[in-house]
A and B are shown apart, each in its own frame.
Chain A
């Protein structure tokens, strides 16, 4: 199972919106509405930000939103804040009943 493809880095200024893509295949991203997104500050536990493509867990800011089109999912962060600077990773359930993760994206707030 190949890793999902994400851009290595994305940057934006405070207040701006950024979008991170997550590209897979019809056997994972395109085949199921089970894409999730995680925020990871180095040295801390990863945090679930989006599940089932576009749902936010309780307590996650509504500045975070998710979507999917075909084999590509996206995470959008609006109103970018300094605290959003972190690594972000997507994940999808697969046709093999396993999970595959993305290559990871480093978000920098300029």
Chain B
């Protein structure tokens, strides 16, 4: 069973960079059979897909966030990360990481999510 766990600061100041890490267990990121996704949920709103990375480094981002977003992978630690710069209050959300099987168009496994608040 694949398990994912998000980690990172719960509070980020406006204009700074939001950095989160997702640690994967039960599967190797290097297996290449998954895309590794970030998804967020604003307070009281629906989910928003942020983007994904494959272990090869191939990425695809939500166009609305692309200019501020970097997703990277560390196969040695079986982790992948999200960096979102120039954050504002609009980036306050619960951030989830999720695994998507290659060739499939759904998210098979999710983390429990981590709350990130952007505030001074």
Contacts and interface: CB of A to CB of B under 8 A. Distances in A.
Given A43-B112, A44-B112, A45-B111, A101 B106 contact: no
A45 B110 contact: yes
A63 interface: no
Q: Give chain A's interface residue range (CB within 8 Å of chain B).
A: 20 to 34
Contacts of A57: 108
A51 B46 CA distance: 19
B112 A101 contact: no
Interface in A71-105: 89, 91, 93, 96-104
Contacts, number: 64
A98 B46 contact: no
B6 to A, nearest CB: 10
Interface string A36-75: 1010000111111001100001000000000000000000
A101 B105 contact: no
B105 A34 contact: yes
Contacts of B64: 1
A18 interface: no
23 contacts: A3-B45, A4-B46, A36-B106, A36-B107, A43-B112, A44-B112, A45-B96, A45-B109, A46-B96, A46-B98, A46-B110, A48-B107, A48-B108, A48-B109, A51-B106, A52-B105, A91-B49, A91-B106, A98-B60, A101-B49, A103-B46, A104-B46, A104-B47
Given A3-B46, A98-B63, 19 more contacts: A3-B45, A32-B105, A34-B106, A36-B105, A36-B106, A36-B107, A38-B110, A45-B4, A45-B109, A45-B112, A45-B113, A48-B107, A52-B104, A57-B108, A93-B105, A98-B62, A99-B105, A101-B49, A104-B46
